[in-house]
């Protein structure tokens, strides 16, 4: 008897969670699907976003993401390589770098927003702009990306390193041609995590990339990203809910598309590396 009650409670809890998830997703998909069209994607917002489209917002979203990735990817890979290949294994500084990364990863996103506002927009004088938003996001996704890549590199079998050494490869070229391709799944996972966090982020961008919903003309222009658009439509614009759901669906589709793109491009890039090597 007790066992049957226990089993049904467990299954009911699982069903509850699945139900809640489907409730959220079905709402977003059904309400969003009713609102999106080609015109919605490719026209300017009108009437504070109630009607019209989200073209400038999509452009701003992609720019901010591109800036964040262009800064965070090379830097993150370099630090990950240093941590797993070059850093002195038992030295304090290596450990400190890891602790620093964990601390950075734990900072709430709104605090990154405060920092970005104080440092990038005011101190460096970039103003409310795509550039300061992208740089703030780069700081935010960097620690998670480094940690994922580093753990992937660490898992590469030492035989590969010895083999490269035996072939007389220099260390940089061993890293480039052998270790990075071998750690591809982890690097990809880090990339997907970073893209997901950066695209979904709202709080860190409110005071760095700003609210302006015009088409950004340069990187120093302020631009409103999709998540900020959703927030603004639902909180500050009465009657903006439909457009907000449309934007929410676009955001979800965008994240899925970007992940697929990351998967494909990482695959082809690493394949080229392996063939050359």
Partner 1 sequence: MSYCSRNDRRWHRILTLLAASLAVLLAFILLFLLYESWPFLSRLRFEDGPFQNPGWYPLEGRFGFAPMIFASIAVTLGSILLALPLGLANAVFLEFYASPIIARGFRLLLNLLAGVPSVILGLWGLTRLVPMITQWQPPGASLLAAILVLTLMILPTIALTSASALASVPFDLRAGAAALGLRLNTRILYIMLPAARPGIAAGVLLATARAIGETMAVLMVAGNVVQIPSSLFDPVRVLTANMALEMGYAVGEHRASLFASGLLLTMVVWGLSWVAYRVGSTTRRPHTNG
Hey, which residues between 43 and 102 contact partner 1 (CB under 8 A)? 75, 78-79, 81-83, 86-87, 96-97, 100-102
- Cβ-count burial of 160 within 10 angstroms (0-12 exposed, 13-18 middle, 19+ buried)? middle
Q: Looking at 59, 66, 193, 220, which residue binds partner 1 (CB under 8 A)?
A: 193
**Is residue 209 within the footprint of partner 1 (CB under 8 A)?**
no
**CA atoms in the 13 A half-sphere facing the CB of 90:** 0
Q: Does 28 sit near partner 1 (CB under 8 A)?
A: yes
Query: Binding partner 1 by CB under 8 A: which of 35, 171, 177, 273?
Result: 171
Structure tokens at 188: 């990809």
Report the residue from 55, 202, 237, 266 that binds partner 1 according to the rule CB under 8 A: 202
Taking the complex as a whole, how short is the minimal distance between the CB of residue 134 and partner 1, in angstroms? 15
**Is residue 13 close enough to count as binding partner 1 by CB under 8 A?**
yes
- Give the helix ranges, DSSP H, for 177-240: 180-182, 184-200, 226-236
Of 55, 62, 203, 266, which one interacts with partner 1 (CB under 8 A)?
203
CA atoms within 13 A on the CB side of 178: 19
Nearest approach in angstroms of CB 235 to partner 1 is: 6
Give the chain's count of helices (H) and strands (E).
12, 2
Report angle CA 18, 23, 26 to the nearest 5 degrees. 115
Q: Which of 73, 139, 149, 262 contacts partner 1 by CB under 8 A?
A: 139
């Amino acid at each position: 008897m007790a066992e049957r009650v226990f089993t049904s409670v467990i299954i009911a809890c699982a069903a509850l969670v699945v139900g809640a998830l489907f409730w959220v997703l079905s709402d977003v998909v059904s309400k969003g699907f009713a609102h999106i069209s080609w015109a919605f994607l490719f026209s300017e917002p009108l009437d504070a976003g109630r009607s019209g489209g989200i073209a400038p917002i999509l452009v701003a979203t992609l720019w901010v993401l591109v800036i964040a990735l262009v800064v965070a990817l090379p830097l993150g890979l370099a630090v990950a390589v240093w941590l797993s290949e070059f850093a002195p294994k038992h030295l304090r500084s290596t450990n400190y770098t890891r602790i620093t990364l964990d601390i950075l990863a734990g900072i709430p996103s709104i605090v990154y927003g405060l920092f970005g506002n104080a440092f990038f927009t005011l101190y460096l004088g970039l103003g409310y702009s795509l550039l300061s938003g992208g740089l703030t996001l780069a700081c935010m996704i960097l620690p998670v990306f480094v940690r994922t890549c580093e753990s992937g590199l660490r898992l590469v079998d030492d035989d590969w390193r010895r083999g490269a050494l035996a072939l007389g490869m220099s260390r940089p070229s061993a890293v480039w041609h052998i270790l990075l391709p071998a750690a591809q799944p982890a690097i990809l996972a880090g990339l997907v995590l970073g893209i997901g966090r950066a695209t979904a982020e709202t709080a860190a961008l409110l005071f760095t990339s700003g609210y302006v919903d015009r088409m950004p003309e340069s990187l120093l222009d302020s631009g409103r990203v999709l998540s900020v658009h959703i927030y603004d439509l639902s909180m500050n614009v009465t009657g903006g809910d439909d457009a907000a759901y449309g934007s929410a669906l676009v955001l979800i589709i965008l994240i899925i598309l970007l992940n697929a793109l990351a998967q494909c491009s990482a695959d082809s890039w690493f394949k080229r590396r392996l063939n050359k090597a």
